[in-house]
Chain A
Amino acid sequence: MNFSFTDEQRLLRESVEKLVAAEYPFEVRRGLAASEAGFSRELWRKFAELGWLGLGIPEDAGGVGGGPVETAIVMEGLGTGLAVEPYLATVVMGAELLKRSGAARSDRLARLAAGELQVAFAFAERQSRYELANVETRAEPEGGGYRLTGAKSVVFNAPAADVIAVSARTAGGPRDRGGLTVFALDASAHGLEVREYRTMDGLRAGEIELDWVRAGPDDVLGRPGEGLDVVEGAVNSGVVGACAEAAGIMARMHRDTIEYLKHREQFGTALATFQALQHRLVDMYMACELSRSMAYMAAVRLGSPETTEAELRRAVAAAKVQIGRAGRFVGENAIQLHGGMGMTDEMPISHYFKRLILIDRQFGDADHHLREMAGTSP
Chain B
Amino acid sequence: MDLVLTPEERAFQEEVRTFLRERLPPDVRERTWTGARMDKEDQVRWEKILHERGWMAPSWPVEHGGTGWTPLERYLFEEEMEAAFAPPPMPFGVNMVGPVIIAFGTEEHKRRFLPRILSSDDWWCQGYSEPGAGSDLAALKTRAVRDGDHYVVNGQKTWTTAAQHADWIFCLVRTSQEARRQEGISFLLIDMHSPGITVRPIRTMDGGEEINDTFFEDVRVPVENLIGEEGKGWTYAKFLLGHERTGIAGVARSKAQIRRIREVARSETSHGRPLAEDPRFRERLAEIEVELMALEYTILRIVSAMNAGTAPGPEASILKIKGTEIQQALTDMLMQAVGYYAHPEYPPPEPGANVAPVGPEHAAGLAARYFNWRKSSIYGGSNEIQRNIIAKMVLGL
Contact = CB atoms under 8 A, between A and B. Distances in A.
B368 A129 contact: no
Contacts of A351: 205
B134 interface: yes
Contacts of A353: 205, 371
Nearest to A127: B269
B43 interface: no
B359 A199 contact: no
Contacts of B207: 345
B11 interface: no
Nearest to B280: A367
Interface in B346-383: 346, 348-349, 358-360, 367-368, 370-371, 374-375, 377-379, 382-383
B359 A153 contact: yes
Contacts of A207: 358-359
A350 B270 CA distance: 30
A358 B367 contact: yes
A262 B112 CA distance: 46
10 contacts: A154-B343, A200-B343, A200-B367, A340-B375, A343-B205, A345-B203, A346-B203, A354-B205, A362-B343, A378-B273
B358 A200 contact: no
Interface string A191-207: 00001011111000101
Given A200-B371, A267-B136, A378-B271, A336 B377 contact: yes
A351 B341 CA distance: 18
A175 interface: yes
A344 to B, nearest CB: 6
A295 B132 CA distance: 39
A344 B341 contact: no
Interface in B239-290: 268-273, 275, 278, 280-281, 284
Contact of A199 (B134, B272, B343): B343
Nearest to B284: A367
A153 B375 contact: no
Q: Per DSSP, are chain B's interface residues mostly helix, strand or loop, or mixed?
A: mixed
Contact of A344 (B205, B275, B339, B358): B205
Q: Per DSSP, are chain A's interface residues mostly helix, strand or loop, or mixed?
A: mixed
Interface in A348-376: 350-351, 353-354, 357-358, 361-362, 365, 367, 371, 376
B315 interface: no
Interface in B126-157: 129, 132, 134-136, 139
A344 B203 contact: yes
Contacts, number: 141
A374 B272 CA distance: 19
Nearest to B129: A340
B129 A129 contact: no
6 tightest A-B CB contacts, nearest first? A350-B205, A266-B136, A345-B203, A154-B340, A198-B345, A378-B271
B344 interface: yes
Interface in A332-346: 332, 335-336, 339-340, 342-346
Nearest to B275: A129
Contacts of B132: 265
Interface string B191-213: 00000000000111101000100
A129 B358 contact: no
A367 B344 contact: no
Interface of B: 129, 132, 134-136, 139, 158-159, 202-205, 207, 211, 268-273, 275, 278, 280-281, 284, 332, 335-336, 339-346, 348-349, 358-360, 367-368, 370-371, 374-375, 377-379, 382-384, 387
A107 to B, nearest CB: 32
Which among B343, B359, B387 has the greatest number of chain A C-beta atoms within 10 A? B343
A340 B341 contact: no
B139 A197 contact: no
Contacts of A128: 269
A174 interface: yes
Contacts of B129: 340
A339 B378 contact: yes
A281 B247 CA distance: 31
B323 to A, nearest CB: 16
Contacts of B348: 197
B210 to A, nearest CB: 10
A127 B275 CA distance: 10
A281 to B, nearest CB: 13
Nearest to A370: B280
B271 A131 contact: yes
B157 to A, nearest CB: 12
Contacts of A153: 340-341, 359
A377 interface: yes
A291 interface: no
B271 A377 contact: yes
A237 interface: no
